[in-house]
Amino acid sequence: MQLSGVVVIDKPAGMTSHDVVQGVKKILRVRKAGHTGTLDPLATGVLPVCTNEATKLVPFLAEERKEYQVTMRLGITTDTLDIQGKILAQKEIAVDDREIERVLMGFTGKIEQRPPRYSAVKYKGKALYKWARKGQPVDAAPRRIMIYGITLESIQVPDVVFQVSCSRGTYVRSLCSDIGDRLGCGACLYALRRTKSGPFVETMAVSLDGGEEDLLRDSLEHKMVTMSEALSGLAQVVVENAMADRLRRGFQPTVESLTGKEIPSLAAGDVVKLITHDFKLVALVRMIRSSDQMVSADLKERFMEILRVFND
C-alpha cells in the first residue's frame, strides 16, 4: 500500500523547499512528493509536503491562506528585497512608532503587489531570478493579492516584527519593500517564519534536523495527515465501495447514482470530496448544478465533474 498523505515539515533557514521535499522522499522512501507553496531559503516554518497520491492535492492546498511572523528591517533596501541581497541604499529612519503602525495597517485588504525580480515567477518561460542573475532584470506585472490582517508585535528600530495573514501569491519581501517605500526610509525582509498554511500549523510540524533516519520516518508516519483530513474545509459526500470503484474507473456521477446519499447544500462550482465510509478519499468533484436542483433533474444527468481521482 502506498504511503499517501501530507507531512508538515518545520523548514530550517538555509534550506530550499526542494531540498526539504527530497529529504522527505528519502526518509519515507516514497516515489513522489511535492510541497504546497515555496518558502525562500531565508524563511523557516510550516512547509506541507504531499506524498504519492496526495501530490494530486497540491493545486488545491496551495490556494489556502498563509500566515507569517515577519521581521522587517527599516532603512535598508536590497536587490532581492531581503537582508541577504546586495544593499542598494541606506537611509536614516525618521519615523515614529505611531507612523509605522499607521502605514502597516494601510496594507490590509486587497492590494496590488509586484513580484520581486528575484522570484520564481515566469517571464517568457524563464523564472525572473534567472533573468536577474544574467544582468537582465525584469519587472513583472503587478498582481492583486489579499492581506487579511496584520498584527503589530514590536518595534525596536530598525526592526519591526508583525504577523500577517495573506492570500496565495503574496510575497512578504515585496510587502516589506512597499512598506519601507511608503515610510520613506526603505525596508527589507530580515527574517520570516511561516506559522500556518491552510489547515497546517506549527504544532503539526516535524524538524528534519539532527535525527536518525528511522526515528524521523516513525515521526513522519505518526504525524502524517490523511488526504481526507487535509481537505477538512471541504464539504463531503459518502459513497459505497462499489461506487468508489466505478469512480476510480472514470465514472462521472449522475443524479441517479447520488440518489439516497446525504448531499449537503452546495452551489454550482463548489468543490466537494467524495469519501468512503472509512474516510478514504475517492475523488474531488466540482458541482455542475446546485444541490437543490437535483429533485427536478433527469436521473441520467451528470451532476458532478470529476477533478481528481485517488487510488490509495
Local confidence pLDDT in tens for the 312 residues of the chain: 579 999 999 999 999 999 999 999 999 999 999 999 889 999 999 999 999 999 999 999 988 899 999 999 999 999 999 999 999 999 999 999 999 999 999 999 999 998 887 777 777 777 777 787 877 777 778 889 999 999 999 999 999 999 999 999 899 999 999 999 999 999 999 999 999 999 999 999 999 887 789 999 999 999 999 999 999 999 999 999 999 999 999 999 988 888 888 888 989 999 999 999 999 999 999 999 898 888 887 888 888 999 999 997
For the chain, what is the domain count? 3
Write the CATH number for 82. Answer: 3.30.2350.10
Q: Is residue 208 situated within a structural domain?
A: yes
Residue 259: give its domain's CATH number: 2.30.130.10
State how far the Cα of 31 lies from the Cα of 229, in Å rounded to an integer: 22
Does residue 74 share a domain with residue 41? no
Asked whether residue 88 falls in the same domain as residue 157, the answer is: yes
75 and 182 together in one domain: yes
169 and 73: one domain?
yes
User: Per the omega criterion (within 30 degrees of 0), is the bond before 158 cis?
Assistant: yes
Q: Is 47 within the bounds of a domain?
A: yes
On whether residue 194 sits in a domain, the answer given is: no
Q: Domain of 119?
A: 69-188
pTM of the model: 0.90
Q: Which of 10, 40, 82, 178 is catalytic?
A: 40
d(CA 9, CA 79): 29
Q: Is 130 within a domain?
A: yes
Q: Are 194 and 67 in contact (CB under 8 A)?
A: yes
Residue 287 lies in a domain: yes
Domain stop point among 131, 166, 188: 188
Identify whether 40 is a catalytic site residue: yes
